[in-house]
Amino acid sequence: MTLEATTEETTTEGVRTRMRDAQRAFEEVKSEMHKAVVGHEELIEGIFIALVCGGHCLLEGVPGLGKTLIVRSLGELMDLSFSRIQFTPDLMPADITGTNVVNEDASGRKVFVFEAGPVFANIVLADEINRATPKTQSALLEAMQDQSVTAGGALHAIPSPFMVLATQNPIEMEGTYPLPEAQVDRFFFKLIVRYPSYDEMARIADLTTAAHSGALAKVLAAESVLEMRAAVRAVPLAAAVRDYAVRLVMATHSETEHSTELARKYVQYGASPRGLQAVILAAKARALLSGRPNVSFEDIRRDLMPSLRHRLLLNLAAEASGIAPEAVLEEVLARVPEVQA
């Protein structure tokens, strides 16, 4: 699905207002989330940025770290419908997308009625997506791409905003079907769910084992998310800043003039143009949510890691040397200058 920008004809004061509203909403979302979720600031920010950019996220983390809680809480405070799909090896595509079922109408005639699957929600948590078969994975990925489902020859649109948060368990990879690189590339961000710290663990214990504190307040409407998406796309981007993003992405390839040493040595395939889109949109979202009217070099750098870490295909030498995509991206950030001399 292609996200369309809808920019209203406003004055600069109106733009300032929108910027302030977006910044305030962001702060409120973070503040409200911390009532239910301990830690995970970067994860929450990343998910929110992906949401306002119209992208989907791939979450990687061991079970029990609060992934489901985060996603459900996010849906709750933004008044967005939420569904969770637990992927298993026997899950069928129709279990995700829905299917036509035979039903009787009022006159008793048998008709096909489309029963929407769990994918028809604003926020979909696809747990352990790598446990389902490729065919089932494709069904979800198609829905992500088109924001619609075709069943029985009819096109059923998924409501906006639509965001899929797919999870992968990095420690139980046996008997799983890792997403192919082409499919992984469709995710806007890959966010790492980290283990909580000592203090966070203590806070988690206090929060989750005591009496329930109550539901989260709805701080953001679905329409506001759509408005923010339009506002993100309208943030001006200077050519020099855009060129910086391009050079960063080109540096992840192994055979360009901008390639870094690790990229030349360990990268088989670098980031695609989708990666560049993610870098720039995320930077625009950062600028907007920080209350700034333009994108800076720092905004480009800020979300480079989650935008590109899943888009680099490393060679066997990297695997043998224990080189991770993060190492390549760190070198890219360190070596590529902001302004080319």
Q: Which residues of this protein are in contact with other proteins, per CB under 8 A?
A: 7, 9-12, 14-16, 234-241, 292-298, 338-341
The smaller minimum CB distance to other proteins, of residues 11 and 209, is found at 11
CA atoms of 295 and 283, how far apart (whole Å): 6
User: Nearest Cα to 278, choosing from 162, 188, 165?
Assistant: 188
Rounded alpha-carbon distances, angstroms, from residue 285 to 53, 117, 186, 220 = 7, 31, 19, 16
Nearer to other proteins, 184 or 237 (CB): 237
In the complex with other proteins, the residue whose CB is nearer, 78 or 231, is: 231
Provide, rounded to whole angstroms, the least separation between the CB of residue 285 and other proteins. Answer: 14
* Cβ neighbours of 182 (radius 10 Å): 9
Rounded Cα distance, 48 and 46, in Å:
5
Residue pair 284/302 in contact (Cβ under 8 Å)? The answer is no
Least distance (Å) between residue 16 CB and other proteins: 7
Q: Which of 90/243 has CB closer to other proteins?
A: 243
Within its chain, how far is the Cα of 297 from the centroid? 22
134's enclosing H/E stretch is helix 134-146
C-beta of 9: minimal distance to other proteins in Å? 8
- Taking the least distance from each CB to other proteins, the nearer of 126 and 285 is 285
193 in Cβ contact with 59 (< 8 Å)? yes
CB of 236 to other proteins, least distance (A): 5
Q: How far is the CB of 12 from other proteins (least distance, A)?
A: 4
Task: Count other Cβ atoms within 10 Å, centred on residue 340.
Answer: 10
Nearer to other proteins (CB atom), residue 21 or residue 338: 338
Q: How far is the CB of 287 from other proteins (least distance, A)?
A: 8
DSSP 94-126: HHHHEEEEEEE-TTS-EEEEEEE-TT-SSEEEE
